Copies of this chain bind each other. A is one copy, B any other.
């Protein structure tokens, strides 16, 4: 039996994405975003949605660039802090004790200590409502060598990213292996 709960912002799981930008004074800033994800395969693109009121919003509009930094579960405290504080009032890198690195590809900083970083050039801006979706072309991904798998691709079990539960506002670990995609469904057909 299904219960109607109205129009809420609930999709499970949401990612925890830390958006890196430079402000007008070239000060590096970061903010946490749960509304985002890959949105195109060719060119490879990622979407992140920000409210106009955020300090990072203007930085993306001005610089036409951002990074997306994916924290490991060990960095949940820093990631959460990046969603609470504003770069208008605080130097979030300094306060969290993390190191900004200037991307050579785009006009934005990434977080040295985070295991997985996307460098993005702004491709599209879509005003939706309270949030604006910024769609960035992923020019490169920088990955800690320690999280690379034996097959030459990054291994999510080594990255240990965070799964976010909106509304209840809880972070979870990624759990155990369930099945191979494009494979387990063949028991049914296709």
Contact in complex: A172, B171 (CB < 8 Å): no
Is A23 located at the chain interface by the 8 A CB criterion? no
Distance in Å: Cβ of A46 to nearest Cβ of chain B: 6
Contacting residues, chain B, for A1 (C-beta < 8 A) = 144-145
Count of A interface residues, CB-CB < 8 Å? 108
Is A61 located at the chain interface by the 8 A CB criterion? no
C-alpha spacing A177/B163, complex, angstroms: 10
Contacting residues, chain B, for A186 (C-beta < 8 A) = 80-81, 84
Q: A13 contacts which of B13, B148, B153, B168 (Cβ < 8 Å)?
A: B13
Contacting residues, chain B, for A78 (C-beta < 8 A) = 185, 188
Contact in complex: B35, A73 (CB < 8 Å): no
C-alpha spacing A17/B13, complex, angstroms: 10
Contacting residues, chain B, for A182 (C-beta < 8 A) = 80, 83-84, 169
Contact in complex: B181, A156 (CB < 8 Å): no
Contact in complex: B128, A124 (CB < 8 Å): yes
Is A62 located at the chain interface by the 8 A CB criterion? no
Task: Give 4 closest A-B pairs by Cβ, nearest first.
Answer: A80-B185, A84-B190, A81-B185, A175-B175
| CB<8 Å pairs between A and B, sample of 6 | A37-B37, A41-B130, A77-B184, A95-B189, A162-B178, A172-B177
Measured CB to CB, the residues of A under 8 A from B are: 1-15, 17, 34-47, 49, 51, 68, 70, 73, 76-85, 90, 95-96, 116-118, 123-124, 126, 128-131, 133, 135, 137-145, 148-149, 151, 153-157, 159, 161-190
